[in-house]
Structure 1
Amino acid sequence: MPPPTGEPKRRRLLALPAVYPCEGISPAPLLASLLSLAADLTRRGGGAAGDAAAFPVLRRGVRHAARIAGLLLAFLEEIHDATAALPASAVLGLTELHVAMQKLRFLLTDCARRGARLWVLVNAGLAAAELRVVLRSVAAALDALPKGVVDASVEAGELARLASEQAWRAVPVRRDAGDERAARAVRSILEQFKSGVSPDAEDARRVLEHIGVGTWSDCSEEIAFLEDELRTRTDGFAGDDSNSSSSDAMLITSLVAFLVYCRVVLFDQIDVNPKADAAAARPAARCPDWIKPDALQCPITLDLMTDPVTVSTGQTYDRASITRWIKAGCRTCPVTGERLRTANVVPNAALRGIIERMLLSNGVSLPDASPAGAGHHRHGALGNTATPLLFGPAATGAARLAVAYLVAQLATGSTAERRKATSEARKLCKHSVFYRGCLVDANAVPWLLCLLSSMDASVQENAVASLLNLSKHPRGRAALFEAGGVGLVVDVINVGARAEARQNAAAVLFYLASDGPEQAEEIGRVPESIPTLVQLIRDGETHRGRKNAMVSLYGLLQCATSNHGKAVSAGAVAALAAVLSAVERGDDLAGDAVALLARLAERPVGAQAVLAWPGLVARVVEALATSASSRSGKDHCVALLVSLCRHGGEKVVAMLGRMPGLMASLYTLIADGSPQTCKRARALLNMIHRHYEMGDQPVPPPPASEAGERVVRVL
């Protein structure tokens, strides 16, 4: 039976599970497995005696355990060579030895684990106690072996007695003096954070040196481990009582904030992380052939959905974005425009499973969704991994001190310091509501706006990405408006140094417009805002940039009707017509273009512009008939045609009635479309029937039905 080759899934650090050999196992395979396990232990602890970097915590105890592992390996090899066949009475002792050695292996793995060293340090007492118990089990198992096995040879007897004596001698294992000093320093620093006092940088640096954290990426690796540990505990996988789990979670948030502070203050540059580079070099996650990657993005934020939920119209959004949309007072479905019958949402387990499989295929885990209303946040640094109750004074104080340091560097730092400060701000507020609030409260928004005009492309890109994340926070949006940042954001869309900066700036306008009609009108009053978005739709270099521009313009039109005329004057219809001509019908950009045209056509000025553009209506009818179009895309097509008839009159109705294929598409949608699409298709068919019934021309017939097909009568 080979030894375990890896840690169990979701195994807690310093939790030492073990698998007992099966009942009835014969001594020979058990001994072979023990030899393999002892050899692995010896390799793991081989550098413990001289390599402090491999085991920075509990070094003395680990060295002692490594020596015992070496003795065990020599003893097992001796009885393997000296005994032709072990007696059945040896199975019990060898089984207990096998279990103890498995636990020792887990413990050595934890003590040497990169990224978990601060957590092992603060739990050094628990680690020492676990080591004491494991070594005592090893000694007991050796003493329980039959005399015939131990005395198989003189060398075997001596090795067994020596290993047993060494294991029993290790019972009073204590923490190292260096571990004690470092742990006291951590506790002292956390107490200073509670008082809002910045600790001595050298004290923090000595703690990091003790655990072998010497670079920015090492610090980030420690943060990532603690965040994962916090998710495990808060999501109910810890197995501890609630009080203990809550106490541990609060300690973890404090340690995360401590490491964030160290990363911000102690390291002058962001070093290259080989693991991150390897991850970036991997191919992008692939979906099944029948799933389009864009279908996994939230239509509101355009980010990959991590907690997909379905609203009453049948559309799916990420829970956080649709909740924010509804709380902003918008009671319509962002995609279909249909009024939401209820604000309740239903988790889309099927789509979440698809996303999770796609990510896991590339070694990325999907954060666990939190139940609605439970007060939990998803993924990310401090602020998205636990309830607000877990943010103690130490975590809050450390976060505010780190943010204050960042804002000072944004204001007065050199170009290199600003480059690092904007990168840190971007990283901190990407997933953390807590840090977004801290940055807004520290008045970071005006300084980030100033850096939008930086000649350093990296500074500008990081600044606009930070503003995009801060615009997701209500106070962040208010700060952007108060600082007059709309015009500066629009300038980045026009002249940003990189395509990513331009597309992120376009997305900022969407979040600013989501605050309500007044804000959307204010954005529309900036002379270049809408023409700039139209230009990005027409000439954008990237798919994401053009999509962001469409979504932002859609938000401006939805929240403020005064923007329709400005969009038409800026050439929005021509730009959208060009998109429909350039992309395939099933492309998501085509669907967005039709949705935007439908929004424009809700006003007479937009409807007239659509009708005036040559061949545009015919392309919309073709898109309605193609099977590549999505259900929402077809709904937008029908909505557009209904608006054109309403504002264009009988002439437009007659034109649509003569278009080949339209009537068949409408009858199909009545039979198989969504309720909203069915309603609109029926309304359009009634318009066409009414027009022809009042004239002399015959009513266009419904599509010919073949045997077994349904015939739908429009009422």
Structure 2
Amino acid sequence: MIHQISGAGRRVLTFPAVHPCESISPSTLLYSLIELAQSICSFKSRFFSANKRNAHGTIRQVQNVLIVLEEFRVELSDVPDSLVLVFSELHLAFQKIHFLLEDCTREGARLWMLMKSDRVANQFRILIRAISTGLDVLPLEAVGLSSEAKELVELAMRQARKARFEVDPDDKRVINDVTRILGRFVDGDDPDRNEIQQFLDYLGVTKWSECNKEIKFLDTEIGMEYLNVEKRGELSILSSLMGLLTYCRCVIFDHVDTEATHHVNNWCTKMLTGVNPDDFMCPISLEIMKDPVTLSSGHTYDRASILKWFRAGNSTCPKTGERLPNKDLVSNLALKRIIQDWSAENGVCIGEESSHKNRDITRTVLAGSMAAEGAVKLLANFLACKLLDGTSEEKKKAAYEIRLLTKATIFNRSCLVEVGSIPSLLNLLSSKDSSTQENAIAALLNLSKHHKSKSIIVENGGLELIIDVLKKGLKVEARNHAAATLFYIASIEEYRKLIGVNPEAIPALVEMVRNGSNRGKKNALVAIFGLLMHPGNHSKVLAAGIVPLLVDLLSSSHIEELVTDSLAVLATLAEKLEGTLAIIRHGALNVIVRILDSSSSRVGKEYSVSLLLALCINGGAYVVALLVKSPSLMGSLYSVLSEGTSRASKKASALIGVLHEFSESSSGSMVPDFPQERPVHVW
């Protein structure tokens, strides 16, 4: 139906209304108009945090028009064109009113709509004038309305002309309060808590989760505004308001409430008890599934990931490798509901990691405004104090808030490093409370990306504490975060050596590859890859038994990222003779060739070529002779040569040269002896 408009994906205060098509029948248009008017009237019971008078005045006007429209229900034959034109214009105006009312009652956008009160009031004024204009040309005599209806039309027109639609005085007062609070942030002064509480109460923001929704909305608006390179006119005020609400979330609300889940069915509640979030990960992307779909094989993937798999030319189930009889995708609505409820209960934004991967981080280096900068600096000091002197619950909440802040922007990380939060967070790693420990290590993971933080972590004995969490963390998530934190610390050569010297670090990472979750395996692999940048760690990684685990992963895993990371580690190990020998002994050659033939990942193909080239160089004629016998290898190498990156093409060319040289100098009828281990001199 025409009236069923949706604001999904629409920015607030935009009105993508469309005229009804010219061929529509008058009766269909009328019924659509009536239903749209009824939908507008239903907003009367909704909560308006700002522009209450204007909104309710507009709804009353539409109610009056609705009474008139319902008189047309009986007969609509041989109507004049002027009436159809009026209906069409009213329909357009009603659509825009519906959009505007959606915005005024939208959860998460309350502060922004308050600050845009002048624009909102003006929009109400314009739309009521549009209704008045339509009614003014309504052919009353031609359509045979009752005298009561005619009087109602005239009343509606008079009211529309008289309506002032100005900003509500209470809205003006609260806007002034907000402006005054932002001014205190600019001056570096803490605002009055009572004043903050009053404006939050006015908006109906009474819980941590409601405040967090406001922050997420503003963050999205900032992202959209940042894309508008030519204007970016709203960036400063959006950043200021986000700084204010972030301050409110941390300082005003003592309790991190879970989002409302009272509507969850009992069966769903039971399923959420003790649930393993690893079950919500897409086997391809290793991210929480946003739109889970099930294949004919019975396995479930995120829709975007499996479609990418199919577009790469694959027609098999990524997890089992079996050929699919069809590529039909069935939405797994039950799992989607469980994921949504679990995410709400645990404060996780679905798709959060993916969205942060795709955002331009350069915009997060600065606060965005003087007020936002002042708010974050004050907040950083507040949280640092809570970490030092707060109760156990206050420390847990402070760690969680730091976790969220450090994930959001580079500027936040800088402020929290400067106020000395790292030593206090390290102290929380020994906590017996699993949530406190997890929040602390997650916060340290985010902070470890800051250039100053790595030395602070190491100088305060952080390596031993992080490795202890890696081995014995109270939650799987904590152990996963610990592995990722080691990866960032290992970006410094000196610290790669220190981590390698610790006798427990590398074995713990290898153990995570063996028995960890998929996310844990990935984090452990990238950490090991980073440690291998120091040559002295090669023998330690080999001694920990990594090679058979990686060969098994290559053989059994259909998770693209795990396969690629395994190839990367093996390719680095193969650069030394002892690594090459270990890889050959565990029968990896055929597996690597198969991956090169079948992988849809350009990075995976490049690591496969790098690995095979290193094996040929260190393994000599024995390896080359085996590879020459592979019927598909040359085709795959020529494919990389023509379609890969310049670096991949060079390596493919070099490997092709090695294989051609061997073929020309040898009949290839005999496989040379397996290469023997010999002393390797590290220069």
TM-score when scaled to structure 2? 0.78
CA-based RMSD: 3.9
Q: How far does residue 472 in structure 1 lie from its aligned partner after superposition?
A: 1.9
Structure 1 residue aligned with 2:495: 519
Deviations 1:462-516 (A, max 9, x none): 111111112222223333233332222111111111121112111111111223x
* 1:202 corresponds to which of 194, 197, 205: 194
**2:146 alignment partner AA:** S
Match runs of 1:241-640 below 5 Å: 242=230, 245-274=231-260, 285-286=291-292, 384=361, 386=363, 391-515=368-492, 517-538=493-514, 540-557=515-532, 559-573=533-547, 575-576=549-550, 579=553, 583-584=556-557, 589=562, 592-610=565-583, 615-616=585-586, 618-625=587-594, 627-628=597-598, 636=607, 639-640=610-611
| AA partner of residue 30 (structure 2) | L
Q: Secondary structure at the match of 2:165?
A: coil
Contact 1:471 1:477 in 2 (8 A): yes
Distance in 2 separating the partners of 1:294 and 1:556: 32
- Aligned letter for 2:536? S
Q: Give 1:699's aligned amino acid.
A: G
Conserved? CA contact 2:290–2:350, under 8 Å: no
Change over 3 Å in CA distance of 1:686–1:105 after alignment to 2:
closer
- SS of residue paired to 2:588: helix
Q: Equivalents in 1 of 2:8, 2:519: separation in Å?
A: 39
- Per-residue CA shift, 1:1-25, capped at 9, x if unaligned? 7324213743x42334432334476
Q: Which residue is 1:653 aligned to?
A: 621
Query: What letter corresponds to residue 231 of structure 1 in structure 2?
Result: G
Q: Which residue of 2 aligns with 1:5?
A: 5
Q: Deviations over 1:223-258 (max 9, x none)?
A: 122222222222139xxxx5xx43322101111111
What is the CA deviation profile of residues 639-664 of structure 1, one whole-angstrom value per residue up to 9, with x for unaligned ones? 4455455446xxx634763x487453
State how far apart, in whole Å, the 1-side matches of 2:93 and 2:599 are: 61
1:678 aligns with 2:652: yes
Rounded Cα–Cα distance in structure 2 between residues aligned with 1:679 and 1:446: 51
How far is 1:367 from its partner?
A: 9.7
- Inter-partner Cα distance in structure 2 for 1:504 and 1:458: 13
Q: Offset of 1:287 from its aligned partner?
A: 7.9
Corresponding residue of 1:143: 136
Matched residue of 2:530: which SS?
helix
Task: Return closer, same or farther for 1:501/1:85 CA change in 2, 3 Å cut-off.
Answer: same
Counterpart-to-counterpart distance in 1, 2:174 and 2:377: 24
Q: What amino acid is aligned across from residue 233 of structure 2 in structure 1? A: S
Going from structure 1 to structure 2, the CA distance change for 1:669 and 1:470 (only over 3 Å counts) comes to same
Answer whether contact 1:586 1:629 (CA < 8 A) is retained. Answer: no
Question: 1:103 and 1:23 mapped to 2: Cα distance?
Answer: 19
Q: 1:608-665 deviations in whole A, cap 9, x for unaligned?
A: 5556xxx41x3333442464456655655564455455446xxx634763x4874535
Offset of 1:119 from its aligned partner?
0.8
- Check the 8 A contact 1:638/1:680 in 2, yes or no: no
Give 1:461's aligned amino acid. E
Residue number among 111, 114, 118 corresponding to 2:111 in the alignment: 118
Q: What SS does the corresponding residue of 2:14 show, helix, strand or coil?
A: coil
Gaps of 5+ in 2: 269-276, 281-287, 309-330, 341-348, 642-648, 672-683
Q: Secondary structure of the equivalent of 2:108?
A: coil
1:283-335 CA-to-partner distances (Å, cap 9, x unmatched) read 654589799979999xxxxxxx9xxxxxxxxxxxxxxxxxxxxxxxxxxxxxx
Q: Would you say the 8 A contact 2:293–2:302 is kept in 1? A: no
Cα 1:604–1:173 shift into 2, 3 Å: same
Which residue in the other structure is 2:326 paired with? none
Give, in whole Å, the separation in 2 of the partners of 1:434 and 1:475. 13
Q: Which SS does the other structure have where 2:88 is aligned?
A: helix
Closer, same or farther in 2 for the Cα pair 1:112/1:486, shift >3 Å? same
What amino acid maps onto 1:572 in structure 2? I
Separation in 2 of the partners of 1:572 and 1:465?
A: 26
Q: Look up the equivalent residue of 1:268 and give its one-letter code.
A: D
SS of aligned partner of 2:228: coil
Contact 1:639 1:680 in 2 (8 A): no
Name 1:233's counterpart in structure 2: 225
CA distance in 1, matches of 2:257, 2:165: 38
Question: Within 2, Cα distance between the matches of 1:622 and 1:143?
Answer: 79
Q: Is 1:57 matched with 2:50? A: yes
Q: Which has the larger displacement, 125-134 or 679-688? A: 679-688
Q: Give the secondary-structure state (helix, strand or coil) at the position aligned to 1:115.
A: coil
Q: CA separation in 2, counterparts of 1:100 and 1:687?
A: 77
Identify unmatched segments of 5+ residues in structure 1: 298-304, 306-356, 371-376, 703-715
2:59 aligned partner:
66
Structure 2 partner of 1:322: none
Partner letter of residue 232 of structure 1?
A: M
Residue of structure 2 in register with 1:18 after alignment: 17
State the alpha-carbon separation in 1 of the partners of residues 204 and 655 from structure 2. Answer: 67
Task: Calculate percent identity across the aligned residue pairs.
Answer: 35
> 1:250–1:392: 8 Å Cα contact kept in structure 2?
yes
- Taking structure 1 as the reference length, the TM-score comes to 0.75
How many positions carry a matched residue from both structures? Answer: 603
Partner of 2:679: none
Whole-Å Cα distance in 1 between the matches of residues 470 and 263 of structure 2? 29
Cα distance in 2 for residues equivalent to 1:676 and 1:59: 67
Give the Cα–Cα distance (whole angstroms) in 2 for the partners of residues 91 and 638 of structure 1: 69
Q: Name the structure 2 match of 1:109.
A: 102
C-alpha distance in 2 between matches for 1:296 and 1:478 = 39
Aligned ranges for residues 86-105 of structure 1 at < 5 Å? 86-105=79-98
Partner of 2:69: 76
Q: Following the alignment from structure 1 to structure 2, what is the Cα–Cα distance between the partners of residues 68 and 605?
A: 83
1:182 aligns with 2:174: yes
